[in-house]
A and B are shown apart, each in its own frame.
Chain A
Amino acid sequence: MNSSLQQFRYETGESLNIAVYQIKANKIRSFLTALGVIIGIVAITMMGTAINGIDLGFEKSLSMIGYDVVYVQKGSWSTMGQWWRYRNRPDIETRYAAEINRIIEGNPGSELIVAVPQMSTIQASARYRDREILQIFAMGTSHDYPLTASGDLSAGRFFTAQESAAGDAVCVIGDDIASGLFPDGRATGKSVRLKNHNVRVVGVFKKQGKFLGLFSFDNQLIMPLGAFTKVYGKTPMVTIRVKIRDEKRVPEAKEELTGLMRRIRRLPPGKADDFGINEQQAFKSQLDPIKNGIAVAGIFITGMSLFVGAIGIMNITFVSVKERTREIGLRKALGARRRTILMQFLIESVMICLVGGIIGLATALSITVLIQNLLPDFPVSFSPMLVLASLLISVATGIISGLAPAISASRLDPAVSLRYE
């Protein structure tokens, strides 16, 4: 008379009612049971959030340094931390930029557009009247610098080719320096004091944020190379920034640039390069081991807590089956089939896990929001995929941990369980 689908629906409805009642009636027990799942879900979402955040922060930061710029430096980014390998290499010199540019001009098919010298120091400070900003990043470069870097100006202009060639004492400053030295907002036209030199501000960069949460572009002061060496002398931190024609042809550009550099350095064939050519891809390969480390640790912690959680749920469900032996017997006497009882207990353990998973997600979300508020530059990101994965894992934990007790409940002998005291 009634379709079995309908019966299944009614039985499932009854199972849901029972599960909700049981969880409500044993709140503390259910919560303690779900704790393992809660911790597991917090762990997995925090891990996922961290990895997402690192990726996102990285993308953001890499877009700051540009995909179409390669860097000629003494060392190589992809083997960062092995500075001793480069110790004996000759320093990069700013004149290479001019030489590279001269060769590019003579070669219309070049993959390279322009080379820009960059000499910098982190041991700089800037003063204006009684205000002083310590630890700024001062850089000397050419008027072509804006071609190789992101960052619009919020006021003024970049220095001109004439100022660059003459080494005029002019500078463009980052937003933090501007707001620090000139709280009234009018920086252009004023002169900041670097060591014992006055340098006139001609432009201010828009706020850019931190690169990888570490290095701030808003803390930099850029001036013509000639002016830089007048203030700071020659520093060993030299980079040649080279803008390339096509960001999809980075390897070709690097190869061409390597050839140019070998020519400039007059390296005979067979001798190894004594310079590094870097691009942002190198950063990414640096990052993978970190991401993997976080993932492995996260999976381990998650696995452990879910395992402990699953055992707890299994245990509690066994207790619950024992406590409700008579009820199971009665329900069977009244017509509940094995799978009905099986479902009832599975739904109960899945529901506990799901509630635990949702509590875990809520906890992780609050932690994420808290971190974002306390450390706005720290890269965190909560993704919908993570929510879905967490809920699926919760359900799976519920099924796995509830299965054994549910099977034992479904196999109870009704005649015996009805007499169980």
Chain B
Amino acid sequence: MSERPFIIRISSLSKHYTMGDQLVKALDKIDLDFRENDYAAIMGPSGSGKSTLMNILGCLDTPTAGRYELNGQNVAEMDDDELARVRNREIGFVFQTFNLLPRLDCLRNVELPLIYAGVSPEERLERSRKALEEVGLGDRIDHKPGELSGGQTQRVAIARALVNHPSIILADEPTGNLDTATSRDIMDIFGRLSDAGNTIILITHEEEIARFTRRIIRLRDGRIESDSAP
């Protein structure tokens, strides 16, 4: 298992905020690694720093101190545009609130990352269609998000996360807005994606969701409390 190469290497990474005159250590000198094809859940109560960690992992935010290496690149020192490029190439986001654009049909929603990657329109359509087929929505490509169920909407979002072949898929409470049965469907998809070799990191506060993964990282007060198999 340790033969698999590292995708993410984090060492003594901190994120501090000042709230009023109080210093908040959202993350306090964390060391954390992910290898290729990891399937991990990051858990913790609210205020534990898991959202901050998710933002930093997703290159939406930069740490105050420490090192974050993604596929060998030091993300901690990148500027806004370099971060945008890394998000585009390396990270597939899945959000709790789906974040699809309601006016665009599924195909157009899924192709968005490819526009920013500079992929030609023909190839965009081709790859978007394939990604939608992968999540079982090949017959819904011209539907708009408003015409889909919650589970289907999240599957479109997963297709969008996959479409640019990212190094990691980062899912922030992906089942938070879904009922139990639909949540199970979504976790089945993540399971299949993991079997296909993808690296997946979930942020969740639900134990039964975390149990689908192969590794659970628990955060408390900005530090890692435990890191183990479920």
Contacts and interface: CB of A to CB of B under 8 A. Distances in A.
B93 A340 contact: no
A415 B55 contact: yes
A335 B84 contact: yes
Given A2-B117, A6-B118, A14-B115, A333 B58 contact: yes
Nearest to A15: B115
Nearest to B55: A415
The B interface, classified by DSSP as helix, strand, loop or mixed, is: helix
A332 B84 contact: yes
Contact of B93 (A11, A13, A334, A413): A334
B167 interface: no
Interface residues of chain A: helix, strand, loop or mixed (majority): helix
Given A21-B103, A330-B99, A330-B101, A335 B119 contact: no
Contacts of A2: 117-120
Interface in A314-335: 326-327, 330-335
Looking at chain A, what size class is its interface with the partner chain?
A: 20 to 34
Contacts of B119: 2, 10
A335 B81 contact: no
Interface residues of B, number: 27
Contacts of B80: 337-338
B230 interface: no
A28 interface: no
B55 A334 contact: no
Contacts of A335: 84-85, 87-89, 113, 116-117, 164
B61 A331 contact: no
Interface string A289-328: 0000000000000000000000000000000000000110
Interface of B: 55, 58, 60-61, 80-81, 84-85, 87-89, 93, 95, 99, 101, 103, 112-113, 115-121, 160, 164
Interface of A: 2-4, 6-7, 10-11, 13-14, 21, 25, 326-327, 330-340, 413-415, 418
22 contacts: A7-B116, A7-B118, A10-B115, A10-B121, A11-B115, A326-B99, A332-B60, A333-B58, A333-B87, A333-B99, A335-B85, A335-B88, A335-B113, A335-B164, A336-B84, A338-B80, A338-B84, A339-B81, A413-B61, A415-B55, A418-B95, A418-B99
